[in-house]
Chains A and B, each alone.
Chain A
């Protein structure tokens, strides 16, 4: 376990280094931020002065190393647009995105997995057919379209839920959360539901096929021979057995929800990271984009590590090495 963690952390650091080079060089290739930063009527001298003050006249590798040195000290640069630390700006928006993604994942798990279990226990039954058809819709309908439909129906036609924004928030340890207030919950429910449909469909299908497969395995037969009922076999054995692939998918999709909640955040004007990054890209706010991408990579790495550790807790046969 110690060897495993050591290796994974080392790999992670290497990965982040490589990614930082790619991101830095890649972002450097997009446009000239000067045009955005100085007034259009600025003289060449003013532009040069600004360039020098921002350090943009130095060779690429020098810029990279000064970026790296600063990054190691927790400084990912000053946003051109907001004129404050890029990391601070992102961190202000991060809780909103994390809250949206977590709520979506929570909905996907508590709806998708039980549905999959019920469907898998009786293949070909009503629940099974409903799941198979419903999941195709969940997988194929575009999120933004579902989002707009939800707004039209619940906010415009029925008028029972708000269409945009985050609503009232409560500060918990300095982090603003909306799911603790009724108004916040009302704002959260539509975007979270629309974002949860894709992982819900996938988890449902995965659970269904896992249950069908596991019920025919020897351990399930042996458990029945001991006098367990079918329901007991599912809750005591099968769910535990299929938890590994489920954890993998939850891990992958959680990362994806955080990093690509852009569309849903835009549709529902949710003040999260996704909306922020779209704006930053439009305005060529390089430090913001770089900081955002670095943060995403660290997040993904962290989630993957969590999944691997969960693996070893769920299955004693997995020896982390």
Chain B
């Protein structure tokens, strides 16, 4: 692939968004090209402008944004930046195919996938009727949808996430485009499906001779399938070259830091190296009196079964249920940390909710610090014990009231549970905010004034003010950038040592799990597959499913060579 003409050449692209005063430069003078059969990775953290580059190439930047400089030369089509909307409608779909992150919202919910696929085929190739149908079947087969004939008549919600993403890819391929732009195509998917989708993309790039721009925040994905990589930050291109070279011998400090922040599955790090301008974790200011631990485990679940009804009917025998937890037993010693890992639908979050008493159980027993969780929920005398388990959720945007000031959000649980007077609660709140790396002034701000990482710190602070013994974290870093994830994981580690917290850490990410837990529980379809000490589980997995998960997980090994800066 040396002398091939590039499919697309982006020259000095600049995209600006008009603000009430001045403008914001989302993409700043970026020059890139993609050759046939090549996968170019665009990597960077949120706000880096990588998605904006993808949208700009397809001219999907809408007011108030605009391409204010540069050219986008598409093979055989000239400069896209100079075309009008009508001309672009002929290019999109036919020459440029796009794949989005969230397949459920990208597909139209109330039309069959056959109708959507045939519409895309009609737009890009002009085929209709039985010819379009034949092509739709061929496309579905190519992306690996079994029984394509029957599947054509189904609606998006009847497919799993991985299948839906395949359909999105099939639609993007409808016009056999020369350029595919995939924006975080596997971020919402489980690891084993991610691996399949990445393999599919790679194969399609080669088979169709198409160029692929793969936009992602995930270094492991970049390492796995891209030929070249471009690192972006604050709208600028930081570094650009063959993937192997950039990952092995990064030149820029930012690239080095980004690579180091990725949690690794092959080893456990004591602390993550955090990026220079990421907020530093303040040192231990106020050693908390650790909980006087009762003997025995902090969390003790025995034979817990939880089912949900998925189909109701007049006759009980026609009803169907799904087991979110099936005879699950789990002991977590006080002061230790357990990681629960599994793919979506494995029941890991349901189990966490049950431990907190947020989810009623059908049979079995859960005790928390020696108290039965069922009794904790109903007995007012045990109110103080109930709050000993606190939860941190995945989405820090959704778990804060957008109209409540941070100070008030943190004081509220203390007042509601009569754990402190207002003045005292105020002091606890401010001290806790400082502990998680925020300032006292932040108490008067509203959630939207914070970044995702800061919001997750606030959520941690909100759990900490209750002086919990058990902290249950449900995917606390999945929505965050790697550098932010590193600081949050460091903070959780420090807090655990400092307060002798028992940690229950739920994640789909094996690498993250390895960094934070003493023991690991692997769950699948509501059942516990394997439970072992972290290192022995990673070094010598016993259960077939655990081995499968590890095999599928993209391994990011480049970081190993960079550990000592």
Contact = CB atoms under 8 A, between A and B. Distances in A.
Partners in one complex: yes
Interface of A: 3, 6, 217-219, 221-230, 236-237, 240-241, 314-317, 321
17 contacts: A3-B314, A6-B314, A218-B100, A221-B100, A221-B106, A222-B106, A225-B92, A225-B96, A226-B92, A226-B171, A226-B174, A227-B93, A228-B89, A229-B89, A240-B110, A241-B109, A317-B109
B312 A3 contact: yes
Contacts of A314: 110
B92 A224 contact: yes
Interface in B101-136: 102, 105-111, 119-120, 123-124
A227 B110 contact: no
B313 interface: yes
A226 B86 CA distance: 13
Contact of B90 (A3, A227, A240): A227
B94 interface: yes
B123 A226 contact: yes
B124 A227 contact: yes
B157 interface: yes
A236 B102 contact: no
B94 A227 contact: yes
Nearest to A222: B106
A226 B110 contact: no
Contacts of B174: 226
A226 B97 CA distance: 7
A219 B97 contact: no
Contacts of A230: 85
A317 B159 CA distance: 12
Q: Closest 3 interchain pairs by CB?
A: A227-B93, A225-B98, A218-B105
A105 B165 CA distance: 42
B106 A219 contact: yes
Contacts of B469: none
Contacts of B168: 222
A219 to B, nearest CB: 5
Interface in B137-160: 155, 157
A221 B105 CA distance: 10
A237 B312 CA distance: 31
Contacts of A217: 105
B100 A222 contact: yes
A102 B168 CA distance: 42
Contact of A218 (B90, B102, B111): B102
A212 to B, nearest CB: 12
B108 A241 contact: yes
Nearest to B58: A225
Contacts of B175: 227
Contacts of A227: 89-94, 120, 123-124, 175
A316 B98 CA distance: 26
Contacts of A3: 312-314
Nearest to A215: B62
A205 B123 CA distance: 32
A219 B91 CA distance: 18
B171 A219 contact: no
Best-buried of A217, A223, A227, A229 by chain B (most CB within 10 Å)? A227
A219 B60 contact: no
A224 B60 contact: yes
Given A219-B109, A241-B110, A317-B155, A225 B314 contact: no
Contacts of B94: 227
Contact of B106 (A218, A315, A321): A218
Interface in B232-258: none
A315 B58 contact: no
A225 B86 contact: no
A321 B311 CA distance: 9
B83 to A, nearest CB: 13
Contact of B312 (A229, A241, A321): A321
Contacts of A6: 314
A221 B89 CA distance: 12
Nearest to B62: A216
Interface centre among A221, A237, A315 (most CB of B within 10 A): A221
Nearest to B101: A218
Contacts of B96: 225
Interface in B300-345: 312-314
A221 B59 CA distance: 11
Contacts of B60: 221, 224-225
Q: Which of A221, A224, A225, A321 has the most CB of B within 10 A?
A: A225
B106 to A, nearest CB: 4
A217 B107 CA distance: 10
A246 to B, nearest CB: 14
Given A219-B105, A240-B111, A315-B109, 11 more contacts: A3-B313, A219-B109, A221-B100, A225-B93, A225-B96, A226-B124, A236-B119, A314-B110, A316-B109, A316-B157, A317-B110
Contacts of A229: 85-86, 89
B186 to A, nearest CB: 16
A241 B100 CA distance: 20
Interface string B160-201: 000000001001101100000000000000000000000000
Interface in B371-408: none
B108 A237 contact: yes
A281 to B, nearest CB: 43
A321 B102 CA distance: 28
A42 B110 CA distance: 69
Contact of A226 (B109, B120, B313): B120
Contacts of B102: 218
Contacts of A321: 312
B110 A315 contact: yes
A314 B85 CA distance: 31
Contacts of A223: 108
A225 B51 CA distance: 14
A221 B312 CA distance: 36
B545 to A, nearest CB: 31
A225 B89 contact: no
B58 A316 contact: no
A318 to B, nearest CB: 9
A226 B109 CA distance: 16
B542 to A, nearest CB: 41
Nearest to B102: A218
B212 to A, nearest CB: 15
A316 B119 contact: no
Residue among A3, A230, A314, A316 with most chain B CB within 10 A? A316
B378 to A, nearest CB: 29
